[in-house]
């Protein structure tokens, strides 16, 4: 299934062919990367509009360029929808993506060299939470918490002890490989005790929060940072949200602190995604994402897989393949050949190296967007099980068989945005 791109095909057939190939890949494969999704045709259209052509440095009503009669309305609409959906006093929809959004938070609340605290990358945190290879760990003094080895869960006594000892200016909660509910009130209490700004980075779970399938960080966190393209099912972009008290500092940090002109076509597509996320059907979607992840986790446990923390509360499952004696990267690459797209990932206390870790990370946002339900999760677990076994035996025939079975199910469940 590929979409018509008449102008692109005429001007640049080489690039048009690549787009068509990507459409086919996305249509035929089972996409289990938990940070990915399928945007709707409406979001796709909005992000490909002439709003692309307009410069609009500044904020609505306070721009440095003229001709903002329409752009101001677009941005105001996106901001109003973000505020209504998440129940916040302030929203900035201009950050180019999640990483620049987080950098703007540092700019707003800390000076270079200040101490900041976040979850360690190999424990499930994000690079931008003060990890050493990131600018946030080079320009700030990052101290890092993790999860307990025996439970795979955050130990709040340990977080509190570290926070009171190190006195960070900013504490980040949230991450990229966390299969469990984030306890925002517990983080808020610690942040209060040590006088830190608490940032809830809900990039992965924003859609679950919007759909009522994960507790909201409002009003516990001082700042909420999120991407718009993961469970929220919008275009690649980000938002910063807060109470009115922090509005000015955040806005100034995004522009002129860090960025120039906002990507207005993205702002428009964010507005559309926020509208979609406010519909009753999105609540159903968010609940289904979680129900599917639970069912998939159960089906994997039934097949003898080891899951970090023993299961999942959200959209994400972190599998430790150590007992299967198949390295994460070998499994991920074999599953890719079988039409199942995952990413290899470190597991907490991983004895292997980050570029060759023990685990794979999977999630249910994309397959749920295609209408797969809990009744399909046994088949998905079975494909993963057979794929991992085939990876260990280098059985290419078995992988090819899985690939055709996957493609058959996928063809019966066309993806949003690709279905037309």
Binding residues (CB under 6 A) for ligand PLP: these are: 35, 97-99, 102, 126, 128, 174-176, 201, 203-204, 227
3-state helix/strand/coil string of 201-270: ECCCCHHHHHCCCCCCCCCCCCEEEEECCCCCCCCCCEEEEECHHHHHHHHHHHHHHHCCCCCHHHHHHH
- In which residue are the tokens 């993790």 written? 146
Give the active site residue among 45, 55, 63, 333: 55
Give the active site residue among 201, 251, 276, 313: 201
User: What gap in Å lies between CA 340 and CA 372, rounded to an integer?
Assistant: 15
- How near is the Cβ of 327 to ligand PLP at its closest, in Å? 24
Of 181, 417, 74, 54, nearest in space to 82 by CA: 74
Q: In terms of CB distance, is 174 or 179 closer to ligand PLP?
A: 174
Q: In terms of CB distance, is 126 or 324 closer to ligand PLP?
A: 126
Report the chain's terminal Cα–Cα distance, integer Å. 9
- How near is the Cβ of 371 to ligand PLP at its closest, in Å? 25
3-state SS, residue 358: coil
- How near is the Cβ of 174 to ligand PLP at its closest, in Å? 5
Q: In terms of CB distance, is 224 or 299 closer to ligand PLP?
A: 224
- How near is the Cβ of 104 to ligand PLP at its closest, in Å? 12
CA distances for 273 relative to 46, 54, 83, angstroms: 10, 21, 13
- How near is the Cβ of 230 to ligand PLP at its closest, in Å? 6
- How near is the Cβ of 159 to ligand PLP at its closest, in Å? 17
User: What gap in Å lies between CA 82 and CA 60, rounded to an integer?
Assistant: 15
Q: In terms of CB distance, is 175 or 179 closer to ligand PLP?
A: 175
User: What gap in Å lies between CA 145 and CA 19, rounded to an integer?
Assistant: 41
The residues that bridge with 91 in the sheet, in sequence order, are 241
201 is catalytic: yes
Q: Which two tokens stand for residue 350?
A: 């991983």
Question: For residue 60, what are the contacts with CB-CB under 8 A and spacing of at least 6?
Answer: 68, 71, 72, 73, 75, 76, 79
Give the active site residue among 227, 228, 231, 266: 227
Q: Would you say 74 and 271 are in contact if contact means Cβ atoms under 8 Å apart?
A: yes
Give the active site residue among 230, 324, 361, 370: 230
Q: Would you say 249 and 59 are in contact if contact means Cβ atoms under 8 Å apart?
A: no
57 is catalytic: yes
- How near is the Cβ of 128 to ligand PLP at its closest, in Å? 5
Q: In terms of CB distance, is 162 or 173 closer to ligand PLP?
A: 173
Geometric angle at alpha carbon 419, from 413 and 420, rounded to 5°: 155
Q: In terms of CB distance, is 33 or 379 closer to ligand PLP?
A: 33
Q: In terms of CB distance, is 204 or 246 closer to ligand PLP?
A: 204
CA R_g for the chain: 22
Whose CB is nearest to ligand PLP?
Answer: 98
Give the active site residue among 236, 303, 337, 352: 236
Q: Which two tokens stand for residue 299?
A: 């089906």
Q: Which residues are catalytic?
A: 55, 57, 201, 227, 230, 236
């Amino acid at each position: 299934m590929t979409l018509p791109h008449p102008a692109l095909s005429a001007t640049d057939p080489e690039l048009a062919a690549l787009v068509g190939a990507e459409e086919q890949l996305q249509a035929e494969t089972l996409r289990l990367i938990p940070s990915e999704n399928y945007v709707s045709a409406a979001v796709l259209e909005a992000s490909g509009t002439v709003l692309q052509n307009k410069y609009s440095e500044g904020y609505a009503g306070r721009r440095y360029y003229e001709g903002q009669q329409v752009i101001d309305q677009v941005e105001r609409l996106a901001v109003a929808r973000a505020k209504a959906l998440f129940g916040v006093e302030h929203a900035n929809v201009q950050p180019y993506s999640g990483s620049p959004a987080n950098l703007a938070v540092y700019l707003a609340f800390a000076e270079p060299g200040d101490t900041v605290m976040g979850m360690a990358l190999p424990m499930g945190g994000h690079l931008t939470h003060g990890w050493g290879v990131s600018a946030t760990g080079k320009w700030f003094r990052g101290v890092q918490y993790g999860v307990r080895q025996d439970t795979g869960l955050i130990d709040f006594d340990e977080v509190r002890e570290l926070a009171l000892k190190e006195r960070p200016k900013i504490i980040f909660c949230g991450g990229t490989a966390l299969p469990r509910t984030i306890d925002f009130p517990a983080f808020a209490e610690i942040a209060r005790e040590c006088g830190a700004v608490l940032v809830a980075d809900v990039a992965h779970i924003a859609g679950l929060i919007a759909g009522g399938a994960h507790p909201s960080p409002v009003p516990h966190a001082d700042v909420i940072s999120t991407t718009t393209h993961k469970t929220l099912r919008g275009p690649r972009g980000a938002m910063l949200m807060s109470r009115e008290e922090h509005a000015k500092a955040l806005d100034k940090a995004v522009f002129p602190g860090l960025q120039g002109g906002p990507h207005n076509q993205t702002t428009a597509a964010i507005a559309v995604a926020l509208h979609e996320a406010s519909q009753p059907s999105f609540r159903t979607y968010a609940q289904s994402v979680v129900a599917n992840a639970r069912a998939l986790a159960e089906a994997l446990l039934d097949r003898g897989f080891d899951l970090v923390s023993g299961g999942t509360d959200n959209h994400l499952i972190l599998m430790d393949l150590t007992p299967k004696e198949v390295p994460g990267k070998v499994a991920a690459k074999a599953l890719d050949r079988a039409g199942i797209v995952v990413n290899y990932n470190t597991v907490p206390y991983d004895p292997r190296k980050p570029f060759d870790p023990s685990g794979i990370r999977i999630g249910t946002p994309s397959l749920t967007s295609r209408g797969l339900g809990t009744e399909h999760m046994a088949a998905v677990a079975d494909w993963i099980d057979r794929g991992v076994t085939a990876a260990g035996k280098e059985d290419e025939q078995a992988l090819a068989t899985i690939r055709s079975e996957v493609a058959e199910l996928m063809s019966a469940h066309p993806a949003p945005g690709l279905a037309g």
